Amino acid sequence: MTVKNVLSIAGSDPSGGAGIQADLKTMCAMGVYGMTAITAVTVQNTQAVYDVQEIDAGIVKGQIDAVYSDIRVDAVKIGMVSNAGIIGVIRDELLRFKAGNIVVDPVMVSKSGYHLLRREAMEAVHTLVAMADIVTPNIPEAELLCGFSIESESDVAKAAHKIAQSGAKNVLIKGGHRLGDNAGDWLLTKDRFIHIKAKRIDTKNTHGTGCTLSSAIASRLALGDTPEEAVRAAKDYITKAIQAAYDVGKGVGPVGHMTDLYKKAGMEAGV
């Protein structure tokens, strides 16, 4: 079987739990070959994001060109993009290379409250959403994309349809930010609105969940799954990864991306 290749266009997390580090670990676990184009270098750990150094848009373009000119790309995951210049370069390059299986994770604000997307770049994000085969906002991100508050499941449905009007083929609104036991997600496809149910797991260690889920979805699309199949497989993977989360650092620890490999090495994890 020919290996499938997935490109992550995202920021770097030195603590290893989120960003391209999480993406590469996830891609390895999903059985695909991971590649990266780095959009920003962050100063962060399990406790907070402290600073961000954006990569020059020309360098971001060069990284994407270098990959596409040499390697077949079967899917693309777009994560942290902080300014309109970088967003424009990504859009132009993916259109030029006729990219497919595009998953957009609209990372806007970190768990600690650090704004990872410049406010003036908000409109530009919609140009990436328009290219997405699947866009994966959490509820606060979905509220920013649709322009109204989400308080109920009917609001989720309205938000998903509003976001789909931007051009996204499928919209996955993640429910992890809702209170209560339900941590399910909602997927809007061309003809269905699906509630993917899941129980909330009692752990503080959820660093990188959004990055992990979106890169898992991109990996499954590369492997030939339909959007619904990819989302369900990725949801199963992230649920197990949260259950196998590691108590690394003093704050919000990372999920267990490579838990099966770690178990073979005799490492213990889990909640």
Among the listed residues 95, 37, 109, 86, the one whose alpha carbon sits nearest the alpha carbon of residue 66? 37
Query: What does DSSP say about strands 134-135 and 193-196: parallel, antiparallel, or unpaired?
Result: unpaired
Examine the residue annotation and report whether 203 is marked as an active-site residue of this protein: no
Q: 211, 235, 256, 259: which one is catalytic?
A: 211
Q: 16, 79, 210, 253: which one is catalytic?
A: 210
Give the position of tokens 């490579």: 258
Examine the residue annotation and report whether 146 is marked as an active-site residue of this protein: no
Q: 39, 42, 46, 209: which one is catalytic?
A: 209
Q: How many CA atoms lie within 13 A of 207 on its CB side?
A: 28
Query: What does DSSP say about strands 102-104 and 134-135: parallel, antiparallel, or unpaired?
Result: parallel
Examine the residue annotation and report whether 28 is marked as an active-site residue of this protein: no
Examine the residue annotation and report whether 209 is marked as an active-site residue of this protein: yes
- Residue 207 tokens read as 């660093």
Q: 4, 61, 77, 174: which one is catalytic?
A: 174
Give the position of tokens 């959820």: 206
Among the listed residues 150, 140, 243, 133, the one whose alpha carbon sits nearest the alpha carbon of residue 190? 133
Among the listed residues 135, 143, 182, the one whose alpha carbon sits nearest the alpha carbon of residue 159? 143
Q: 26, 206, 212, 259: which one is catalytic?
A: 206
Q: 19, 175, 208, 256: which one is catalytic?
A: 208
How far apart (Å, rounded) are the C-alpha atoms in residues 64 and 102?
14
Q: At 127, phi and psi to the nearest 5?
A: -70, -30
Examine the residue annotation and report whether 210 is marked as an active-site residue of this protein: yes
Examine the residue annotation and report whether 208 is marked as an active-site residue of this protein: yes
Could you give the dihedral angle defined by the CA atoms of residues 226, 237, 114 and 141, in that order, rounded to the nearest 10 degrees? 40
How far apart (Å, rounded) are the C-alpha atoms in residues 163 and 96?
24
Show which residues are catalytic.
Answer: 174, 206, 208-211
